[in-house]
Structures are given as structure tokens and as C-alpha cells.
Amino acid sequence: MMGIYAVAQEPQKLTTVPESSGLRIGVDFAKYVYQIVEPSITGFEASLDYEIKPNYFITLEGGYEKALPQSDLYNYKLSGIYGRVGFDYNIRKKRADNDIFFLGLRYGLSNYTQSATDIQITNYWGNGIESVPSETLIAHWAEAVVGMKVELFFAKNLFIGWTVRGRLMLAGNNYETLEPFTIPGYGGADAKALVGATWSLYYNIPVRFN
């Protein structure tokens, strides 16, 4: 009886599950608003983030852009993909919910092609038409990010959020033939540094990869 009692009173081992907000998937809707202002540039952007340890999130972002500016002097087209990888740190450490206010860093890479045809040339010798054949370009940049993600009170696991980003070009803005109309994922091709923003809707899949 003593042995049975001792076994029954032996403390149970508890399994600790790390707190995690899950795998959050987002779509940037700011791009669609920007397309109203600049309809010649279209595209989409999506993101993933996951809390690898309390208040530290690994983040992946990527998208596609196409530019077809209208002009009577040339026909120009550009298209490409881009991606960013980095991390966010939640400076709002309350764990009662999964809302975060964060600072982050990103590394960005863009791979895109451009071409121009029917370029109208007028000079001393008269008029002419030239073209720039399709060329593939690559750009690299870094971003400092501040933002927040807040769960909607009426929809569990549905979040809205925004970011403001300071971007710094690292390499890829030295052009031999033609300056791009834009750099997918970055912005103005002639800018060594600029500011961007996103406004996104996220869905949180409550999974943990332990």
C-alpha cells in the first residue's frame, strides 16, 4: 500500500507550450489604393510572419509589379518579382492578446525586366525610331520598419495592421541603357533612400511548430 500511495503522489511532469500568435498571412491593400493615384503600376504583395520566441517574429514578404506608363513618344513595359526577409521585435510585451507594436529590419531583393520600343527621336538630322531591347535587372536594399498588428474585436484571428518603412538602396541603381520607371518592391528608381508604407489585412492560423 505504501508503494502504491507513493506512486500516486508522484508529481506529474508538465509540458510547457511556448506562447505563439501562430502563422499570420497578410495581403497589402495599400497597393490597390496607390494604383488609383498611379494606374500605370499594378501588382500585389503578401506576407507571412511567425513568432519564433516570445516577442520575436520572423517575417517574409513578396510580390509582383508591372508598369505600363502611357506615352505618345514610346512604348515601355516593366515587370518583376521581389521579396523581403527579416524580423520584427514586439515592444508591446503584454501577453493577454496577440496585438503587437513592433520594430523591424528587412533585406529586399528585386528581379525584373524592362524594354522600350517605338521611341520617337528628333534631332538635327531629322526624326527616327529607336528601341531598347528587353533587359533583366536586379536591385538590393535594406529597410527599417515600424508598425502594428491588431486583432479585430468581432473576428477572431483576423488582424489589421500598418507599417512605415525607411528604405536604403544597397546596389542595383546604376543603369547602362535606360532608367527603370520603378523598381518592384522598392519604388523610385532614382532614389537612394525613400519612405514607403503598407496597410494590410491578416489571418492568423493558430499553429505552432515546436
Per-residue pLDDT of the chain (210 residues; tens, 9 = 90+): 445 444 444 444 443 434 556 899 999 999 999 989 889 999 999 999 999 998 999 999 999 999 999 877 778 999 999 999 999 999 987 667 889 999 999 999 999 999 888 666 666 665 656 667 888 999 999 999 999 999 998 888 999 999 999 999 999 877 777 889 999 999 998 899 999 999 999 999 988 776
**Predicted pLDDT at 132:** 73
**Residue 196 cell numbers, joined:** 514607403
**Predicted pLDDT at 2:** 45
Q: What is the DSSP track for 174-186? A: --SS---S-BTTT
**Residue 61 cell numbers, joined:** 514578404
Report the alpha-carbon angle 179-180-184, nearest 5: 150
Contact (Cβ atoms closer than 8 angstroms) between residue 139 and residue 172: yes
H/E run at residue 127: strand 126-151
Q: What is the DSSP track for 9-60? A: TSPPPPPPPPP---EEEEEE-HHHHHHHH-TTEEEEEEEEEEEEETTEEEEE
In whole angstroms, give the CA distance from residue 134 to residue 68: 14
**Predicted pLDDT at 17:** 38
**Predicted pLDDT at 127:** 66
**Predicted pLDDT at 98:** 84
**Predicted pLDDT at 83:** 98
**Predicted pLDDT at 120:** 61
